[in-house]
Structure 1
Amino acid sequence: MKVNLKNFNLKELENFVVEKGWQKFRAKQIAKWLYKKKASSYDEMTDLSKDIRNYLKENTEFNALELVMYQQSKIDGSIKFLWKLKDGNTIETVLINEKNHKTLCVSTQVGCAVGCKFCFTTKDGLIRNLETAEIVEQYINVQRFLGDEEENRISNIVYMGMGEPLANYENVKKSVQIFTHPDMVGLSHRKITISSSGILHQIKRMYEDKEFPEVKLAVSLNASNQDQRAFLMPISQTNTLQDLMDLLRSIPLKPGWRITLEYVLIKGVNDSEQDAKRLVNLLKKDKHRFKVNLIPFNPYPSAEFERPEEERVLKFEKILWDNNIATFIRWSKGRDIDAACGQLRKKAVDLINV
């Protein structure tokens, strides 16, 4: 099976070129072409010898993803990309156009095993983890699609697409190394956020791992008590709310950084005034450590839940702000193209017109 060089962090890429008998500096040359120049073939790598280029063409795989289709929201300009993998599975990536920057929401798994009741991705279960190259190419391909003009640069990456990032720990870690290394993609650490459903031992592992670049953490909370969270998120049956909050309170944070708590507001389930007050009580002792993102539920086919009215969302937000808890409503982008939070799902490629 041919190797994809985008599965390697810089150290591994250096080891690869040295093993082939090439000079070590060739690794940084290759990285420059892959990540800085977004080369679409080895033929473009003109500062490599013809022999090296020919070897790479014959013995490595250049592309892990194939673009099947993309859709752009008529409401907010967000773009959803559908990719076909080598094994025929498909994943989705979403480009979010903000006022002053562009954020890419990447997937880390085909499907998801976590089983959150409000999320469409989990309906197919977990098919498999994505390789590092399959994560990284989402960024490379979308940036190439946009062009390299300054106004089209992707500055932020959020691991909030399909899958639980920390259940694919090693490949996610390596992709973050590639995204943050100055000789590779070179994005700012503070511009990358990993979102987790709250796998306690993996969150702890990430913060204790000296080789995992320091990036921001978001945790899917969605409830103000254990029973409610266990109903919405089966993972909370073994990773309890109390244990989760104890861990999040103990994590060392860089100055000015906060942990984001994501709270999907579901009509008649977790959106009451009482829910908001319970959330205040849960956070008030350490409110400087957290910020809350309120995400009104995004409906999908066969969904058993409904989106709350805007007035109810605003009231919930006000209760938190009145208690000095930093709170932001995330009116999800891309809802008209099923690209919003909780709406991504593996699709059958044969149903799509390319």
Structure 2
Amino acid sequence: MKTPSPLPVTLCSVTDLSDMLTPKGPRRQPMKGFDDEFIDIVDYIVRITYRIWDEKQVDLCKRYYADSGNIQTLAGNVMGVDTVIKNTWATLEGFPDRTLDADNVVWSGDDNEGFYSSHLITSHMTNLGPSEYGEPTGRTARIQTIADCVCLENKIVEEWLMRDNLGLAQQIGQDGHEIAKRQALSDHESQNDLRDIHLNHFNRTMNTDVSGYAKKPSNPEDDATAFAQAVFGTLWNNRSLKQADQYYDYRADVNGPSGRRYYGAKQVISYIESLLEVMPDLKVTVDHVADVPYLEGARDIAVRWSLAGTHTGDGMYGTPTGEPIYILGGSHFRVINGRIRSEWTVWDELAVLRQVERNRLITGK
């Protein structure tokens, strides 16, 4: 008798939410130490997120987050499960109807070394209470988040959170630049360690050897890491922008932070040029890559990356300060026929403005 093939791990991008919240059938992959109810890592990520945020069972963080876990964000690190719970309730105070809709979960790893998941989320919310941005405005917003997690034995042990906070502030009617100035002044007066954290990441990024990046694999769908490195190596690090049409389909739909949207290779070039104008020496490192199937022959590729550069040029961040800028970013590429057809890229641009304003306080520029 032929042994039946194992069921494939849940494909979030093509599975209805109701099916993901009520999965049926046996476990689809080894999950040592995880609760018996979870059938695979995608199921785990989708359902615990839904329970914590949509159902407001925030105390479940104690079950699903390691006691000493670390969430890295561009606005500072969140240490320990108690702080995670406190911050979650604070967010819900400002946006009590906030939902986290699972657009995709791209994953890698196993239950021995730990699963790595990259969760692309769309959040809908109404500003009905006080928040870090100010008094409630009653306005609604829709933003995207990418949450990358390392999961081991039923716990998230490390996370990198990238959320479009400037887009959120703008949509609820707040002035992102004024918020960044207030936050920067608080950083400056308290002398917290956020600047040191950014400088450490800036130096790590600038000192990483990326010479092997700029070579596109012959079959990008079969070598996700090489493809991701080639995208950033060729277009960003080597500034070979004329090659953009080798990586982006002419119909490419690119969703960026703060509501930016680009269509096709030509507009992608303008997007990259806007950052090169601000930081002519910028450099990008690819810090993690995972990929899963999409439709037949296509792949969804998730990339966590770091960008570092010196603010020596005019542009969208104002008068140059001559100081370092560090960006923690995440991208989801949908690759069809060897090129990016859709892209979702998220970073916290409010935290970037905060860096710029803090640098102004230091330099007086």
Query: Fold conserved (TM > 0.5)?
Result: no
RCO higher in 1 or 2 (8 Å CA, sep ≥ 6)?
1
TM-score (norm 2): 0.27
| Structure with greater proportional strand content | 2
